[in-house]
Amino acid sequence: MNPTPQADEPVVTPVEETVEAPAETVEVTPEAPVEVAPAEEAPTV
């Protein structure tokens, strides 16, 4: 009974950290390319 609750605790901790990591990366990806597209077109024109 002791190993069961201990295994659940560590498994939930890494899962929460992993979900936060990709969430931030996804938000930065769309914002980065969007700003770069108009920035390159402005100087080119």
Torsion sign across C-alpha atoms 15, 17, 23, 29 = negative
Give dist(CA 37, CA 40) in Å, integer.
6
DSSP 1-27: --HHHHHHHHHHHHHHHHHHHHHHHHH
Report the pLDDT averaged over residues 19-33. Answer: 54
Q: Domain-by-domain residue ranges, the chain? A: 1-45
Report the pLDDT averaged over residues 13-20. Answer: 54
Look up the pTM and report it. Answer: 0.12
pLDDT at 10: 53
% of the chain with per-residue pLDDT over 90: 0
- Tokens 């920035």 sit at which residue? 39
Mean pLDDT (the chain, rounded): 55
> Which has the closest alpha carbon to 10: 24, 18, 21, 20?
18
pLDDT at 9: 56
Confidence of residue 37 (pLDDT cuts 50, 70, 90): low
